[in-house]
Chains A and B, each alone.
Chain A
């Protein structure tokens, strides 16, 4: 049997026949043999099903729109921001200092008269970039390690799994703080690297579990029996079936990375001034709590909250769309 045909057939079990089967024995189960023919239409149906399920999750769609807007804002910060990020501190600017929200400065100004809205827009650049790159890097590392451990099993798996356990035991915030202070000295690439080095474990575990269960599936055994190489089996049979869970896990990593980066910057061990991030904006305005400048603490925190909330809802919608049976 041609192995490629089964590829698109396999995930249908999890997607297509799922909902009625929850309630009662689905007649489609009896029909397995007949429905399997023809890879192309099945694959298209699957994508349509995914889209239909995702777009029905209204909150996730709203979250996606919000995230797109946030990234657009970050990309075009220069064009969108109403003021200069680092204005020359002349008398005009300083005279605007410590002003609460107004028509001129929607979010008010800080002690030096800098426009809060401008700073929040620019601050998003770093936070969003770090979130995305850390997630991509962690996903690549985690998928690779999880895939190798799960597929080859035996000692390879033992070794890699123990290594994963070890990373999980490390107190992450503390190690990140030390590394951020002593190695990075506020440099963004270093912070991205350390975050990715700690956050791949979740993905590795997810992927390893998936690969182990997929390895037992008939279509993989059939491919193996027909002499397909390990590389081909992983590439054509296993990886495509992991796309859903990996995407969801990667999305959640974006959320974790954004929160951790802001936490580090808040503690003063992350990105340093004059680079603006939401985290170090809050670090600078923490002292305004209880004073009339306390309006400064709301906008950057709200920006973090909204971004992470959107990412989490997006992840939730993706999970529902990929696997409607899961109840998280």
Chain B
């Protein structure tokens, strides 16, 4: 098991490095790091910035300087907030993590429950309903769901009941000190927006995996032993069906760190997605590159985690 994890870990390092090269070249070629300074017509500042980033060197040198700075934690300052990029990303990450945590927790519970039910009661009315809903969930543009949710759950009830405050808020995470209820009222809509697609996709996956497992020979063996149905489903069935789902979950979570641009923008949550949006919109290129690297790294890390979890959950993978 240790060698298995070790090998995967070693394999991830070159992937991160090559990805960083690609992203570096991409960002340098598409954006101008001095665009904002140029607008201020401060030629000294532009020259200083060009020197700091070694922009007059060939690209490989630029990368090398950037990498050594990046490794030593010198990520530069944001042109918009004038704070260090590292602290901005750290603050944004904390907010995004809350979204991700609640999102995946709720999604996992709901998706597994739906998946198991749909597989065990295949072709039942409720199975068809869940299938239809998951297709709608997968086909729904997340930003539209967010807008509609705000319209229908925030404004319409407010008008309808003449409320001073809406039941749930359309602006997230501003409820510091407001207690659990306030926290929930702020997070409800963004988490719901985030969950729709995830639940749709995970429940489909869980259903397929559970169907596959429930038709396996060892399920028949368990029944032939006289194991009660409930235990056949949850001990023998679910335990096996979770193996592929858990790896998919891990991989999907990795993508969430940079994948919440829409949700965070619509609900004005100062997380990673919003940080990226304001940086790109405002030409704050110092933020873009570290942001991309951090997000790519979390994708790789969660891919690695998926491999490790597969090894933990499936004894057949452990030995090979």
Q: Mark A272-286, 1 if CB is under 8 A from B, else 0.
A: 000000010010001
Q: Which residues of A contact B292 (CB under 8 A)?
A: 171, 174-175
The answer to whether B31 touches A169, judged by C-beta atoms less than 8 angstroms apart, is no
Q: Interface residues of A: mostly helix, strand, loop or mixed?
A: helix
Q: Interface residues of B: mostly helix, strand, loop or mixed?
A: helix
The answer to whether A177 touches B280, judged by C-beta atoms less than 8 angstroms apart, is yes
- Nearest Cβ distance between residue A73 and chain B, in whole angstroms? 18
- Nearest Cβ distance between residue B132 and chain A, in whole angstroms? 9
Whole-angstrom CA separation of A311 from B212 in the bound complex: 25
The answer to whether A309 touches B300, judged by C-beta atoms less than 8 angstroms apart, is no
Given known A-B contacts A170-B19, A177-B280, A282-B147, A259 and B141 have beta carbons under 8 A apart: yes
The answer to whether B23 touches A170, judged by C-beta atoms less than 8 angstroms apart, is yes
Q: Which residues of A contact B138 (CB under 8 A)?
A: 255, 308, 312
Would you call A50 an interface residue if the criterion is a C-beta within 8 Å of the partner chain's C-beta atoms? no
Would you call A269 an interface residue if the criterion is a C-beta within 8 Å of the partner chain's C-beta atoms? yes
* Other-chain residue from A162, A166, A269 in contact with B22 (beta carbon distance below 8 A): A166
Q: Mark B75-91, 1 if CB is under 8 A from A, else 0.
A: 00000000000000000
Would you call B47 an interface residue if the criterion is a C-beta within 8 Å of the partner chain's C-beta atoms? no
Whole-angstrom CA separation of A169 from B13 in the bound complex: 13
The answer to whether A174 touches B261, judged by C-beta atoms less than 8 angstroms apart, is yes
Would you call A65 an interface residue if the criterion is a C-beta within 8 Å of the partner chain's C-beta atoms? no
Whole-angstrom CA separation of A181 from B139 in the bound complex: 25
Q: Mark B99-142, 1 if CB is under 8 A from A, else 0.
A: 00000000000000000000000000000000000011011111
Which residue of A165, A171, A279 has the most chain B CB atoms within 10 A of its CB atom? Answer: A171
Q: Mark A244-267, 1 if CB is under 8 A from B, else 0.
A: 000000000001000100110011
The answer to whether B208 touches A327, judged by C-beta atoms less than 8 angstroms apart, is yes
The answer to whether B15 touches A169, judged by C-beta atoms less than 8 angstroms apart, is yes
Whole-angstrom CA separation of A258 from B198 in the bound complex: 18
Would you call A188 an interface residue if the criterion is a C-beta within 8 Å of the partner chain's C-beta atoms? no
The answer to whether B147 touches A178, judged by C-beta atoms less than 8 angstroms apart, is no
The answer to whether A290 touches B141, judged by C-beta atoms less than 8 angstroms apart, is no
Would you call A268 an interface residue if the criterion is a C-beta within 8 Å of the partner chain's C-beta atoms? yes
Q: Mark A143-186, 1 if CB is under 8 A from B, else 0.
A: 00000000000000000001001101111011101110111000
Would you call A89 an interface residue if the criterion is a C-beta within 8 Å of the partner chain's C-beta atoms? no
Number of interface residues of B (CB under 8 A): 47
* Other-chain residue from B22, B204, B262, B295 in contact with A263 (beta carbon distance below 8 A): B262
Whole-angstrom CA separation of A116 from B288 in the bound complex: 37
The answer to whether A269 touches B136, judged by C-beta atoms less than 8 angstroms apart, is no
Q: Which residues of B contact A171 (CB under 8 A)?
A: 255, 258-259, 292, 295-296, 299
Whole-angstrom CA separation of A308 from B136 in the bound complex: 9
* Other-chain residue from A169, A182, A268 in contact with B19 (beta carbon distance below 8 A): A169
The answer to whether A286 touches B147, judged by C-beta atoms less than 8 angstroms apart, is yes
Would you call B56 an interface residue if the criterion is a C-beta within 8 Å of the partner chain's C-beta atoms? no
Whole-angstrom CA separation of A183 from B258 in the bound complex: 21
The answer to whether A178 touches B26, judged by C-beta atoms less than 8 angstroms apart, is yes
Would you call A61 an interface residue if the criterion is a C-beta within 8 Å of the partner chain's C-beta atoms? no
The answer to whether A183 touches B143, judged by C-beta atoms less than 8 angstroms apart, is no
Q: Which residues of B contact A308 (CB under 8 A)?
A: 138-141
Q: Which residues of B contact A182 (CB under 8 A)?
A: 30-31
- Nearest Cβ distance between residue B133 and chain A, in whole angstroms? 11
Whole-angstrom CA separation of A269 from B150 in the bound complex: 23
- B212's nearest neighbour on chain A, judged by CB, is A327
Q: Which residues of B contact A170 (CB under 8 A)?
A: 19, 22-23, 296
The answer to whether A290 touches B19, judged by C-beta atoms less than 8 angstroms apart, is no
* Other-chain residue from A178, A269, A304 in contact with B141 (beta carbon distance below 8 A): A304
Would you call A328 an interface residue if the criterion is a C-beta within 8 Å of the partner chain's C-beta atoms? yes
The answer to whether B139 touches A327, judged by C-beta atoms less than 8 angstroms apart, is no
Whole-angstrom CA separation of A182 from B285 in the bound complex: 11
Which residue of B19, B139, B259 has the most chain A CB atoms within 10 A of its CB atom? Answer: B139
- B14's nearest neighbour on chain A, judged by CB, is A162
Would you call A26 an interface residue if the criterion is a C-beta within 8 Å of the partner chain's C-beta atoms? no
Whole-angstrom CA separation of A298 from B261 in the bound complex: 22
Q: Which residues of A contact B19 (CB under 8 A)?
A: 166, 169-170
Whole-angstrom CA separation of A179 from B31 in the bound complex: 9
* Other-chain residue from B27, B30, B154, B259 in contact with A290 (beta carbon distance below 8 A): B154
Q: Which residues of A contact B262 (CB under 8 A)?
A: 173, 263, 266-267
* Other-chain residue from B136, B141, B255, B300 in contact with A262 (beta carbon distance below 8 A): B141
- B23's nearest neighbour on chain A, judged by CB, is A170
Would you call B148 an interface residue if the criterion is a C-beta within 8 Å of the partner chain's C-beta atoms? yes
- A300's nearest neighbour on chain B, judged by CB, is B144
Q: What are 19 A-B contacts with C-beta separation under 8 Å?
A: A169-B15, A169-B296, A171-B259, A173-B262, A174-B292, A175-B26, A178-B280, A181-B280, A182-B31, A262-B141, A263-B143, A266-B262, A282-B143, A289-B147, A290-B155, A301-B141, A305-B140, A308-B141, A316-B135
Given A177-B277, A263-B142; 8 other pairs, CB 8 A cutoff: A169-B296, A174-B261, A177-B261, A179-B26, A262-B141, A294-B155, A305-B144, A309-B139
Report A's interface with B, CB cutoff 8 A.
162, 165-166, 168-171, 173-175, 177-179, 181-183, 255, 259, 262-263, 266-269, 279, 282, 286, 289-290, 294, 297-298, 301, 304-305, 308-309, 311-313, 316, 327-328
